[in-house]
Structure 1
Amino acid sequence: MVDLISFSLVLIILGVILKIYIKLSVKHNGCYKCLVGKTAVVTGSNTGIGYITALDFAKRGCKVILACRNKVKAEAAVFEIQKETNNKNVIYKHLDLSSFKSIRDFAGDFNQMESKLDILVNNAGGIGFENKFTDDGLQVILQTNYAGPFLLTHLLLDKLKKSESGRIVNVAALAGRLAGNIDLNDLNKHPKDATGFYSPVQTYKNTKLCNILFTIELAKKLYGTNVTTNTLHPGIIDTNFLLTIPFFRKLIQFIGKFYFLTPLEGAQTTIYVALSNDLEGVSGKLFDNCREVGMYSNAKDPNMAKKLWEISEKWCKIEENEKIR
């Protein structure tokens, strides 16, 4: 009995030490840039790190467009941000990344109403546990996490070029590193695990690697312009994303409350990449915990990034005048 109590105390002490280490390891962006006169679009910004990112921009005086699918949650987020920042230039625009029509409608409205775009944060993403396809013929998570942001970026690029220094921030994840060497020709089919069943986790990992490959190729195409693009791993965060996990949900949520980063902590790298003066002119890089890290080994093949780009143009039906050259 005494040994059991001693063992439990050791576990508790180790758990507390780990908690302290995690908290002390988190870096904050430390950027004091004013964004008055700037315009930003943040996708998936009604909750989690997207919400914190939008809130931070609004505090700096930025015009912030919350590009979200859920109108009720987005309007509530706008209300809270306006209330906290007293910035009335925070608005909601409907955007469903699983619909190319919705993306084109959003971009068409933005391009008509706004003179420029200074920051585009492709933050929205998720994981789906059913192998469903969109009306555009793509796997839902593949389109939401990757192909949708790919199209959106194309359609908003002209406005980004109107900025003095446009920035595109693609929120990826460490999961991209765990995707392995993916088969680009099989991405929109039925990713399977070792048992032969559909694997939503593999699908999610694939999309995050695609975000990184997209960033690498986009940076090459934007070379010599005033627009830069970078990608990042925000950390493992305690957000509503955990509610989508069907297995061991309660256990993961319990662990998450204690050990995972808060949305405020998790948003720091996004904010850093979007605003830091140290990154002026820096493009095509990967960041983690507010610092540049080495590119994942499975993302270093330039031919893979180029091939994915060509496939994505076909998926998204990019017209000739919309292509980024």
Structure 2
Amino acid sequence: MSKYILPVSVFGTVAGCAVLLKQYVTGGRCPSKATIHGKTVVITGANTGIGKETAEALAKRGGRIIMGCRDMEKCQAAAKEIRGKTLNSNVDAFHLDLASIKSIREFAERIKQEEKRVDILINNAGVMRCPAWKTEDGFDMQFGVNHLGHFLLTNLLLEKLKESAPSRVINVASLAHIIGKIDFEDLNWEKKKFDTKQAYCQSKLANVLFTRELAKRLQGKLRWLLH
């Protein structure tokens, strides 16, 4: 039996460290019980994963939730599920394709025309490690969706966010930004061999730089968060 003690101890130690590391990196659970009645939240990529969980959590707090997604069938199904779980009928699905400037402008215009306020914008949607695809407008897919799409959307909704102050913007980034490099001479990988990993890291670094710069320019007007 003693021969198993060391392996089990090592496994237990590794597992424990992994749990602690995860808690440290993710920041743990939010202890706040605050409600957001009367607030409007726009979340991109909200039909699955982090976006869906965020939409459900904020719907439970009483907010109006607008889920912006490319696949409307999945988005409507997710919105229906969230309405059923939270008993919050104010959860809607809007079409938004971040790989299309036309779609982004239409989405933003709909928000500005139909919504009285936007209190929180959560730029969550993203693609990761995809092939050398291009957006509808010819940009590298990862850079176009993860950064340029959200850059445009944020700026189009900026006045509405200012009018709703104190408001906030949350940009979902990644630790991958640490090894990212911005190649301003070839953002779309047209001159060098495509590297899907580096393309993703570049897009996440762009998220971080965008967040920091806008935080400086809008200091005191909006609250910018990087997650």
Per the TM superposition, whether the score is higher than 0.5 is: yes
> Structure 1 residues 146-155 or 7-16, which shifts more?
7-16
User: After superposition, where does 1:175-254 map in structure 2 within 5 Å?
Assistant: 175-179=176-180, 181-190=181-190, 197-225=193-221, 227-232=222-227
1:191-219 per-position Cα deviation (integer Å, ceiling 9, x unaligned): 86xxxx42111000000000011111111
1:105 and 2:106 aligned: yes
The 1:142/1:9 distance shift into structure 2, 3 A limit, reads: same
Check conservation: 1:115, 1:162, Cα contact below 8 A. Answer: no
Q: Partner residue of 1:21?
A: 20
Distance 1:130 1:35 in 2: 40
Q: Residue 34 of structure 1 contacts residue 61 of structure 1 at CA under 8 Å; is this kept in 2? A: yes
How many matched pairs?
A: 225
Deviations 1:13-42 (A, max 9, x none): 334333443466452222222110000000
Q: 1:4 to 1:135 in 2, by over 3 A?
A: farther
Partner of 1:9: 8
Q: C-alpha separation between the residues in 2 aligned to 1:105 and 1:150?
A: 15
Q: Aligned runs of 1:311-322 on 2, under 5 Å?
A: none
Q: Residue 21 and residue 106 in structure 1: after superposition, are their counterparts in 2 closer, same or farther (change >3 A)?
A: same
CA contact (8 A) 2:182 2:206 kept: no
> What pairs up with 1:1-325 in 2 under 5 angstroms?
8-22=7-21, 25=24, 26-179=27-180, 181-190=181-190, 197-225=193-221, 227-232=222-227
Where do 4+ consecutive residues of structure 1 move more than 6 Å? none
Runs of at least 5 residues in structure 1 that lack an aligned partner in the other structure: 233-325
> 1:133: Cα distance to partner?
1.4
Q: Is the Cα contact below 8 Å between 1:68 and 1:74 reproduced in 2?
A: yes
Q: Do the aligned partners of residues 188 and 3 (structure 1) sit closer, same or farther apart at CA in structure 2, a change above 3 Å counting?
A: farther
TM-score (norm 1): 0.64
Determine helix, strand or coil for the equivalent of 2:182: coil
Name structure 2 gaps, 5 residues minimum: none
Q: What's the CA shift string for 1:287-324, capped at 9, x where partnerless?
A: xxxxxxxxxxxxxxxxxxxxxxxxxxxxxxxxxxxxxx
In 2, distance between residues paired with 1:20 and 1:128?
26
- What root-mean-square deviation, in Å, do the aligned CA atoms of Structure 1 and Structure 2 show? 2.2
Q: Please give the TM-score of this superposition, normalised by the length of structure 2.
A: 0.90
Q: 1:221 to 1:16 in 2, by over 3 A?
A: closer
